[in-house]
Amino acid sequence: MSRTRIALLGSGTGTTAAEIIDATATTIDADVCVVIGNNSAAAVLVHARERGVPTVHLSGVTHPDPGALDGAMVEALSASGAELVVLAGYMKLLGPQVLERYEGRIVNTHPALLPAYGGVGMYGDRVHAAVLADGAPVSGASVHVVTAEYDEGPVLAQVTVPVLPGDDVEALRSRVQVAEKALLIGWLRERCGA
């Protein structure tokens, strides 16, 4: 059986992408075939290049027209042979062509137990601040299918993270990020085989 071909999309530091690429060498029966970044200076592209993974920069800079950008994304994913698309810190909505072409095969993580604390504007520290403001006893992370609406796709996996007395945003973020990456790696291992 052939190894699953994964495309990663990222916008920032690339720590999640780096962990996924590294895990494909040891515990995930898959290959990262391309990393697409929407910021040409993003560390996610550096991590990929250091690991010998092809990179592509696609953004409003390279394609000011949203339709052209969407089409270029489909072309880059198709050319790579991607079978599964993983958003690894990618901070943009995907276009309708990508969503249609890869329907049900695009996944993302969210730093909370969806549907709680999801939707437009709910990302990063905003999520953790909302959890703390509500006095919630637990938070967590979710892996979900990407659709045209933020955080609305079916949830594929979740893990809980306790909210501890004295937690601030930084402390909660730190624990959730560790759980979120482990959840995604575990889901990929299960989905692709080990």
Concerning whether 110 is annotated as a catalytic residue, the answer is: yes
The one catalytic residue among 47, 57, 63, 110: 110
Rounded Cα distance between 148 and 162, Å, is 30
- For residue 54, give the nearest of 70, 38, 76, 69 by alpha carbon: 76
- 169 contacts 95 by C-beta, under 8 angstroms: no
User: Would you name the residues annotated as active-site residues?
Assistant: 110
